Amino acid sequence: MRKALSSLVTAPKRVALADSATAIAVALVTASLALLVEDLLPKPGERYEPSWPRVSFFAVVLVLVVVGRYVRRKAREAAGTLVSIQVLDEGMADRTRGENSRTAAQKRTMSIRTVHRWPDLAASTVDGVIDVAALCAEVGRTAELLINTAQDNERIAVAPNLLWPMALGVGGYLPLAEFDTCFVELSTQDRRESEEFVPGRSTLEGLSDIDLAPSELAEPTGNRIGVAVTLTQDVHAGTSEARLRDFGVRTVHHIVRPAGVGTAEMVNGRPQIHFSGAELHVLASVVAAGLAKIKQSCGERELVVTAQMPKTVALAAGWYLAQLGLNFYRGTYLLHYTPQDDVSSPMRVKESHDPRPLNSESS
């Protein structure tokens, strides 16, 4: 209901209506106050008799002024600012431009601040490693600055549109704990509206006993530990394991969506999973807790991660990992999969990431 009303009356219009109503009420207060002063200063020889209708009218409009200013302040705080973080490869289509996507999200906020970059990933690839560590640091610090310089008590909606390894890295820069901040999963379908959720560190509590029983690959080419995060599509386990085997993985952990989370549907002939805001929140907690637990159990073995998950889940998981104070990225490789080429490439998103190529043999 709130989203439906927001689509009819945008946040700036709601604040403008509150401003207009307050201005009218102030004018009425001024006029009624003038009449009351006139009653308080009767002409010589006349006896003062209060006009109770005028007093009542003054009291009513005075209450309207107070209520109008309160509504205006709350409207501005609730609308807040949309921080759009987008990093896409040159030539990559932006699928979040639909009427139910970034446009609709912007209508629910007072203003929009953007951190949009279009890097050439091919030019950033050296020996098979896509090195975007400096870019992620720049995007993360810029987003951090935009959030830190927002008005006090202002709601902040962060809308990410990044490749999942970048989202994981950028998420660690966001100072969300000190602000009223939510994550907005921008819709890529005309019939679906964007979903949102508010992250909180407390949601990681109680997830330490998450079941991540590993499996051993047949004919491994190394001794690394692999993680396959499969949330957005029903991908056969063997597909992810085949990608990981090429990078020297022996042991594989699977992080999948919990039972009952997500709604399966067909979009343009392809199976996809839709998640509500509450479900996205659950998934972000599960992914962060799972990655943290696996990383802590690795010891000296290197970790290789491949994933298919919503952008807000990756961004929130990166923020959660930063809150845990875990040195997650050292000795960890994040694989970016390019479906048109059927190629997985390590993506370096942190300075602590090893820039050397990830060969099939574990170090």
Candidates 221, 170, 166, 222; CA nearest to 336 is 166
The reported pLDDT for the residue numbered 234 is: 58
pLDDT for the residue 138: 96
The pLDDT score that the predictor gives to residue 117 is 93
Which is it for strands 156-162 and 81-87: parallel, antiparallel or unpaired? Answer: parallel
Q: How far apart are CA 200 and CA 191, in angstroms?
A: 29
State pTM to two decimals. Answer: 0.76
Which phi and psi (to 5°) does residue 334 adopt? -110, 125
Delimit the domains of the chain by residue range: 2-77, 80-194+207-348
CA distances from 95 to 114, 146, 188, 237, 342 (A): 16, 24, 5, 27, 21
Predicted pLDDT at 338? 84
- What per-residue confidence (pLDDT) applies to 304? 94
DSSP β-bridge partners for residue 334: 305, 347
Of 117, 101, 196, 214, nearest to 158 (Cα)? 196
pLDDT values of the chain reduced to their tens digit, one per residue, 363 residues: 444 444 445 656 666 666 777 777 778 778 777 777 776 766 666 666 667 777 787 788 888 777 777 766 666 555 678 898 999 988 787 766 654 455 555 566 657 888 999 999 989 998 889 999 999 999 999 999 998 887 766 778 899 999 999 999 999 999 875 567 889 888 776 556 778 888 875 555 545 555 677 888 888 888 999 999 988 865 555 567 888 888 889 999 998 888 888 887 776 677 778 899 999 998 998 999 899 999 988 888 999 999 999 999 999 999 999 888 788 999 999 999 887 778 889 999 998 887 777 765 544
| DSSP-derived 3-state class of residue 147 | helix
pLDDT at position 35: 73
Instruction: State the pLDDT at residue 166.
Output: 96
